[in-house]
Structure 1
Amino acid sequence: MKKGFLKIGAVIAALGVMTAAFAGCSTTEGNDSSNGGDAAGTTTGKINVCSREDGSGTRGAFIELLGIEEKDESGEKVDRTVATAEITNSTAVMMTTVAGNKQAIGYISLGALSDDVKALKVDGAAPTVDAVKDGSYKVSRPFNIVTKEGSSNPAAEDFIAFIMSEEGQKVVEEEGCISNGNNGAFTSKNPTGTITVVGSSSVSPVMEKLIEAYNAINGGLTIELQTNDSSTGVSSAIDGTCDIGMASRELKDEEVSKGAKATVIATDGIAVIVNKENSFDDLTSEQIKQIYIGEITTWDELAK
């Protein structure tokens, strides 16, 4: 009886070694397409398209710049982003999503770019401040602050004067955005009270730093920052529920007709991002469009 158990145990052990050996071959990273790579190290498999939510200024600018938004037969603009795209509701969530998915592609503000993801070249140009400035990197958009035409708020006006000053635009550049010039040195009128700034999650990081720098000059004014999306920032400025809106896109005609007034505080590139382990470094703008409208669905198609 004891010998029988020993023989059975030996057979099970042998089978275990064989199973482990086969398993080791099938799960070696780079040979398994589910890991996003082939034997040569090229990323393969289904592309996981990530986009921003409706109302996001980054999404609005991205789909316009890449031709993902097109006019239909009636002349209406239609967003052709593939229906299966994973929707992220902020820059931070987009970064986390792409960083955690080897098959993913997404887009974020250039100023928010970090080493957690890889930024692709677009049409051969890397997403850098210099490339946006000289026009070689064409995926860029304005950062706007929005107020209502004809409204007057001395406290908000003082903060806006700081943003557009030499000191404010220095903060803009320190945060990786591109200044379009400044109005010279700032002298505060030292207003007090509270104002509210609402809108784009792309503009929010630089706005946070602008608030800190302003409060170092005038600590008597409380500036409350609420982050959501560009459309909310614009509509809140129009209806008076905030003092300053933030929008990472151009204003729409209907928003302007309702009294929205935009002031460009910076220019920002939009970086197209993939997972750090992705083998691709450069895509054309046409390839990115085809990915986002569903004409290209796998990384294999891009490697041909």
Structure 2
Amino acid sequence: MKSMIKKITTTALFGVLAVSAFAGCGGASSSSNGSSDAGSDAAKFDASKTISVVTREEGSGTRDAFTELTGVLVKDGDNKTDNTTTSAVTINSTEAVITNVKDNEAAIGYISLGSLNDTVKALKIGGVEATADNVKSGDYAVSRPFNIAYKGELSDVAQDFVDYIMSSDGQKIVSDNGYVTVSENAAYSGKKPSGKISVAGSSSVSPVMEKLAEAYQKVNTNAKVEIQTSDSSAGMQSAMGGTCDIGMASRDLKDEEKSALKVETIAKDGIAVIVNNANTCDDLTLDQVKSIYTGETTVWSDIIK
């Protein structure tokens, strides 16, 4: 009887060790009887699938920042080459990227950290989680500024809105929505002038800008803020052309944009690399991300060992 108890205990111990061996990108967990856990998404993931690479459209500030930070974009003097694989699926909004990855187990994409929700999984990069604290500390490598830009002097009401964004009230909204603050200014104390403000550009900046506009219009009921969402390049073109008061960009401004516009950073944001919740991978290096996005690595089993 004692021999039988000892045998059962030893078997149970091996079962625990077997489960722990499959942590991270190592594979799906198993139950103690050796069968797959049918209720677990991770247990169902097929690592032999071809990686479905999802990217943003040209002109997207998120794409510009992501490709530069991961090395997918190669610079040679003034020349820049985006080496994103031609097989990538190009998506023109943050929400559409999330939907695509949520609906495709083999997909990988990237989005603004502030837009992340639990329908997809954010990967660690080099062992560092994609969080606002890690962006602020500089530990998370894939991060970029949220910029606004405008041509010449702003109207009284547009300047008052910018003052609100950079006040402690505005920066609290930035923080509350998962982004990193950049200002330690005092509370808003503007004169609340009347008028209309037009803001245009980045679909990554738009979500927090909408929250800022909503809050500002509550404290200044004389103002109306209209937001048009497109991409960073379109936002800068609109600002330079005078078709909007304030342009939004989720990247650093290009030289020609800097020469024509005044720029101000209103927040910092991480770029979350996301996969389907069923994917067993939890962590990638920057080199692995680059390899996937340039088309060098094409199958999940090359990553998930």
The TM-score, its normalising length taken from structure 1, stands at: 0.84
> Is the contact made by 2:47 and 2:299 (CA closer than 8 Å) also made in structure 1?
no
How far is 1:267 from its partner? 0.5
Deviation at 1:303, TM superposition (A): 2.6
Q: Secondary structure at 1:256's aligned position in 2?
A: helix
Task: Name the residue aligned to 1:53.
Answer: 57
2:111 counterpart of 1:108 = yes
Deviations 1:70-103 (A, max 9, x none): 024x651110000110011000000000000000
C-alpha RMSD of matched pairs (Å): 1.7
Structure 2 distance, partners of 1:62, 1:261, is 24
CA contact (8 A) 1:42 1:279 kept: no
CA–CA distance in structure 2, aligned partners of residues 181 and 75 of structure 1:
33
Q: Distance in 2 between matches of 1:75 and 1:157?
A: 35
Q: Which position in structure 2 is the counterpart of 1:251?
A: 253
> Structure 2 matches for 1:195-274, cutoff 5 A?
195-257=197-259, 259-274=260-275
Deviations 1:134-175 (A, max 9, x none): 221110000001111x33311110000000001000110011
Does residue 63 of structure 2 align to residue 66 of structure 1? Answer: no
Contact 1:43 1:280 (8 Å CA) reproduced: no
Give the alignment partner of residue 141 of structure 2, picking from 138, 142, 149. Answer: 138
Task: Count the aligned residue pairs.
Answer: 266
Match of 2:150 in 1: 147
Which residue of the other structure, out of 169, 184, 198, is the alignment partner of 1:182?
A: 184
Within 2, Cα distance between the matches of 1:124 and 1:130? Answer: 15
| Amino acid paired to 1:116 | T
Name structure 1 gaps, 5 residues minimum: 1-29, 31-35
Structure 2 counterpart SS, 1:268? strand
Instruction: Tell me, yes or no, if the aligned pair for 1:107 and 1:273 is still in contact at 8 Å.
Output: yes
Displacement of 1:188 after TM fit? 2.2
| Residue 298 (1) aligns with residue 281 (2) | no
What is the CA-CA distance between 1:261 and the residue it aligns to?
1.7
Conserved 8 A contact 1:129-1:177 = yes
- Rounded to whole Å, the distance in 1 between the matches of 2:82 and 2:253 is 17
Percent sequence identity is 53
Specify the alignment match of 2:14 in structure 1: none
The answer to whether 1:95 aligns with 2:98 is yes
Residue 65 of structure 1, CA deviation = 0.3
Contact 1:188 1:217 in 2 (8 A): no
Taking structure 2 as the reference length, the TM-score comes to 0.84
Amino acid at match of 2:184: N
Q: Report the residue type matching 2:200 in the other structure.
A: V
Q: Does the 8 Å CA contact 1:68/1:79 hold for their aligned counterparts? A: yes
In structure 1, give the amino acid aligned to 2:127. G
Q: C-alpha distance in 2, partners of 1:173/1:152?
A: 26
Q: 1:89 to 1:100 in 2, by over 3 A?
A: same
1:16 matched residue in structure 2: none
Is the CA contact 1:145–1:247 (under 8 Å) kept in the aligned structure 2?
yes
